[in-house]
Amino acid sequence: MYPQSPLMGQMMNQPLLVSSILDFAARHYANSEIVSQRVEGDLHRYTFRDCQQRAKRLANALHGLGVRMGDRVATLAWNGYRHMEAYYGVSGSGAVLHTLNPRLHPDQLAYICNHAEDQYLLFDFCFLPLVEAFAPLCKGIKGFILFGAADRMPAETKIPNLLCYEDLINSHSPEYEWPLFDENSACTLCYTSGTTGNPKGALYSHRSTVLHAYGSAMPNALNVSSRDTVMPVVPMFHVNAWGLPYSVPLSGAKMVFPGPALDGKSVYELMEKEQVTFSAGVPTVWLGLINHALQNKLKFSSFRRTVIGGSACPPAMMSTLIDEFDVEVIHAWGMTEMSPLGTAGGLLTKHLDMSKEEQRKILQKQGHAIYGVDMKIADDDGKELPWDGVSYGHLLVKGPWIISRYFKGEGGDVLENGWFPTGDVATIDPDGFMQITDRSKDVIKSGGEWIGTIDLENVAMSHPAVMQAACIGVAHPKWDERPLLVVVLRPGQDLKREDLLAHFQGKVAKWWLPDDVVFADALPVGGTGKIQKNKLREQYRDYRLPTA
Amino acid sequence: MYPQSPLMGQMMNQPLLVSSILDFAARHYANSEIVSQRVEGDLHRYTFRDCQQRAKRLANALHGLGVRMGDRVATLAWNGYRHMEAYYGVSGSGAVLHTLNPRLHPDQLAYICNHAEDQYLLFDFCFLPLVEAFAPLCKGIKGFILFGAADRMPAETKIPNLLCYEDLINSHSPEYEWPLFDENSACTLCYTSGTTGNPKGALYSHRSTVLHAYGSAMPNALNVSSRDTVMPVVPMFHVNAWGLPYSVPLSGAKMVFPGPALDGKSVYELMEKEQVTFSAGVPTVWLGLINHALQNKLKFSSFRRTVIGGSACPPAMMSTLIDEFDVEVIHAWGMTEMSPLGTAGGLLTKHLDMSKEEQRKILQKQGHAIYGVDMKIADDDGKELPWDGVSYGHLLVKGPWIISRYFKGEGGDVLENGWFPTGDVATIDPDGFMQITDRSKDVIKSGGEWIGTIDLENVAMSHPAVMQAACIGVAHPKWDERPLLVVVLRPGQDLKREDLLAHFQGKVAKWWLPDDVVFADALPVGGTGKIQKNKLREQYRDYRLPTA
Ligand SMILES: Nc1ncnc2c1ncn2[C@@H]1O[C@H](COP(=O)(O)OP(=O)(O)OP(=O)(O)O)[C@@H](O)[C@H]1O
Ligand SMILES: Nc1ncnc2c1ncn2[C@@H]1O[C@H](COP(=O)(O)OP(=O)(O)OP(=O)(O)O)[C@@H](O)[C@H]1O
Ligand SMILES: [Mg+2]
Ligand SMILES: [Mg+2]
Q: By C-alpha distance, which of B241, B243, B283 is closest to B258?
A: B241
Q: Which residues of A touch B431 (CB under 8 A)?
A: 29-31
The C-alpha of A161 sits at a distance from chain B's nearest C-alpha, in angstroms, of 26
Binary contact (B10, A418; C-beta < 8 A): no
The C-alpha of A255 sits at a distance from chain B's nearest C-alpha, in angstroms, of 13
Strand B33-37 versus strand B43-47 pairing type = antiparallel
The C-alpha of B22 sits at a distance from chain A's nearest C-alpha, in angstroms, of 10
Whether the per-residue pLDDT at A193 is higher than 90: the answer is no
pLDDT in tens, chain B (548 residues): 899 999 999 999 999 999 999 999 999 999 999 999 999 999 999 999 999 999 999 999 999 999 999 999 999 999 999 999 999 999 999 999 999 999 999 999 999 999 999 999 999 999 999 999 999 999 999 999 999 999 999 999 999 899 999 999 999 999 999 999 999 999 999 999 888 888 899 999 999 999 999 999 999 999 999 999 999 999 999 999 999 999 999 999 999 999 999 999 999 999 999 999 999 999 988 988 999 999 999 999 999 999 999 999 999 999 999 999 999 999 999 999 999 999 999 999 999 999 999 999 999 999 999 999 999 999 999 999 999 999 999 999 999 999 999 999 998 999 999 999 999 999 999 999 999 999 999 999 999 899 999 999 999 999 999 999 999 999 999 999 999 999 999 989 999 999 999 999 999 999 999 999 999 999 998 888 889 999 999 999 999 999 98
Distance CA B421, CA B440 (A): 10
CA A371 to chain centre: 19
Please state, as a whole number, how many other Cβ atoms lie within 10 Å of the Cβ of residue B302: 14
Pocket probe mutation, ligand 2, options B311, B392, B525, B532, max atoms within 8 Å of Cβ: B311
Phi-psi region of A169 (alpha: psi -120 to 50; beta: other; left: phi over 0): alpha
Report, as residue numbers or ranges, the catalytic residues of B.
Answer: 192, 337, 445, 450
Which chain B residue's Cα is nearest to A69? B5
- Contacts by B377-381 with C-beta closer than 8 Å and gap 24+? B377/B426, B377/B427, B377/B428
A406-A407-A413 Cα angle (round to 5): 35
What type of residue sits at position B157?
T
Whether the per-residue pLDDT at A253 is higher than 90: the answer is yes
Based on its alpha-carbon atoms, the radius of gyration of chain B, rounded to whole angstroms, reads: 24
Q: Quick: pLDDT tens for B142-194.
A: 999 999 999 999 999 999 899 999 999 999 999 999 999 999 999 999 999 88
Q: Quick: pLDDT tens for A223-242.
A: 999 999 999 999 999 999 99
Selected residue of B1, B4, B8, B11 to mutate for chain A interface (largest A Cβ count, 10 A)? B11
pLDDT band at A265 (very low <50, low <70, confident <90, very high): very high
Residue A314 in contact with residue A340, Cβ under 8 Å? no
3-class SS of residue B104 = coil
Residue A52 in contact with residue A81, Cβ under 8 Å? no
Binary contact (A12, B399; C-beta < 8 A): yes
Please state, as a whole number, how many other Cβ atoms lie within 10 Å of the Cβ of residue B214: 27
User: Which are the contacts of A242, defined by CB distance < 8 A and separation ≥ 6?
Assistant: A216, A222, A232, A234, A280, A307, A309, A332, A334, A340, A341
- Please give the pLDDT value at position B196: 82
Residue B5 in contact with residue A183, Cβ under 8 Å? no
In B408-514, at which residue ranges do the beta strands (DSSP E only) sit?
420-428, 434-439, 444-446, 449-451, 466-476, 480-489
Report, as an integer, the average pLDDT of A70-86. 98
User: Which are the contacts of A345, defined by CB distance < 8 A and separation ≥ 6?
Assistant: A329, A330, A331, A332, A362, A363, A364, A365, A366, A367, A368, A433
Q: Which residues of B touch A14 (CB under 8 A)?
A: 398-400
Binary contact (A2, B180; C-beta < 8 A): yes
Selected residue of B1, B4, B12 to mutate for chain A interface (largest A Cβ count, 10 A)? B12
Residue A91 in contact with residue A18, Cβ under 8 Å? yes
> What residues line ligand 2, using a CB cutoff of 6 Å?
B 192-197, 199, 309-312, 331-336, 366, 422-424, 436, 439, 528, 530
Residue A206 in contact with residue A179, Cβ under 8 Å? no
Distance in angstroms between the alpha carbons of the first and the last residue of chain A: 58
- Please give the pLDDT value at position B195: 83
Check residue B321 and report its DSSP letter: I
Residue B19: C-alpha distances to residues A169, A338, B25, B357, B446 (Å): 47, 22, 10, 45, 51
Q: Quick: pLDDT tens for A486-544.
A: 999 998 999 999 999 999 999 999 999 999 999 999 999 888 888 999 999 999 999 99
ipTM score here? 0.96
> What residues line ligand 1, using a CB cutoff of 6 Å?
A 192-197, 199, 309-312, 331-336, 366, 422-424, 436, 439, 528, 530
Is there a catalytic annotation at residue A337?
yes
What type of residue sits at position A537?
R
Pocket probe mutation, ligand 1, options A103, A111, A112, A193, max atoms within 8 Å of Cβ: A193
Backbone angles phi, psi at A370, to 5 degrees: -85, 135
Q: Quick: pLDDT tens for A330-353.
A: 999 999 999 999 999 999 999 999
Q: Which residues of A touch B217 (CB under 8 A)?
A: 218-219
Closest Cα to atom 24 of ligand 1: A194
- B438 vs A197, residue with greater confidence: B438
- Please give the pLDDT value at position B1: 85
Check residue A176 and report its DSSP letter: -
Whether the per-residue pLDDT at A67 is higher than 90: the answer is yes
Whether the per-residue pLDDT at A197 is higher than 90: the answer is no
- Please give the pLDDT value at position A1: 85
- Please give the pLDDT value at position B455: 94
Binary contact (A348, B226; C-beta < 8 A): yes
Is there a catalytic annotation at residue A132?
no
- Please give the pLDDT value at position B198: 81
| Domains of chain B, earliest start first | 19-428 (3.40.50.12780), 442-539 (3.30.300.30)
Q: Which residues of B touch A4 (CB under 8 A)?
A: 181-182, 184-185
Distance CA B41, CA B50 (A): 21
The C-alpha of B379 sits at a distance from chain A's nearest C-alpha, in angstroms, of 19
Q: For residue A424, which ligand has an atom nearest its CA?
A: 1
Residue B1 in contact with residue A13, Cβ under 8 Å? yes
Ligand 4 ion: residues within 5 Å (CB)? B 192
In which element (H, E) is residue B307 found?
strand B305-308
Handedness of CA A384, A387, A393, A399 (dihedral sign): positive
What type of residue sits at position B253?
A
Binary contact (B217, A218; C-beta < 8 A): yes
Distance CA B443, CA B548 (A): 19
Cβ-in-10-Å burial (0-12, 13-18, 19+) of B347 comes to middle
Distance CA A531, CA A108 (A): 18
Pocket probe mutation, ligand 1, options A284, A306, A311, A442, max atoms within 8 Å of Cβ: A311
Q: By C-alpha distance, which of B470, B500, B486 is closest to B543?
A: B486
- Please give the pLDDT value at position B200: 94
Number of H helices, E strands in chain A: 17, 25
